[in-house]
Amino acid sequence: MNLKRNRLSLTITSSLAATLVAATILVSPAANAADSNKLVVMQDAPTLATAAHTEANTSGAVLFFAADLRNLKRKKIGELIGQVTTIDVTLDGVNEEDRFRELVFNMKDGQIVVLGASQYTATTAPDFAKDNAPVTAVIVGGTGDYIGARGIVTTKKLKNGTFRHTFTFMK
């Protein structure tokens, strides 16, 4: 009889443990939404280079860039390298220009890889964030201290031509 009780107790305990694990997995994304870390880095004005086979601000144009990254105390902490591909396609009669961004933030503690896109209508300036509106992109991963990183980065162009990148990491 004790053997049957022990087996029943073990079965109930195993089922309870499995239920708790499943509940944790199902609840985790919502619970993590409030649990994030932030990192703010400053970017010097970038050095730009248009791909030799393309014309700037035309469909298919590829713009490469690089810039030093600094912490809030203005100490150099790494560099940003990236490219922007212009996709000039009219959809639903709206003349707009889309820009696909691929960014790698190289820092001594590792890399953060970011992808994103932004839209500009014919009435807005073709320069990235010329109107100083923040642009948000997705953190798709990282290396070193940032391995498995996910979240978003919000980039704001400042009046002096530099940029502020605010990373919000999800745990």
The H-or-E segment that residue 3 falls in is helix 2-32
Average per-residue pLDDT for the chain: 78
Per cent of the chain over pLDDT 90 is 53
- pLDDT of 115-140, one tens digit each? 999 877 655 545 544 556 889 999 99
Count of other CB atoms within 10 angstroms of residue 4: 8
- pLDDT of 135-155, one tens digit each? 999 999 999 999 999 999 999
- pLDDT of 1-11, one tens digit each? 544 444 434 33
Structure tokens at 9: 């107790």
The domain locations on the chain are 1-33, 36-170
* Strand bridging mode 110-121 / 151-157: unpaired
Distance CA(71)–CA(41), nearest Å, equals: 5
- Three-state SS across 59-123? CCCEEEEEEEEECCCCCEEEEEEEEEEEECCCECCECEEEEEEEEEEEECCEEEEEEEEEEEECC
Residues 6+ apart with CB under 8 A from 106: 69, 78, 79, 80, 81
* CATH code for the structural domain at 36-170: 2.40.480.10
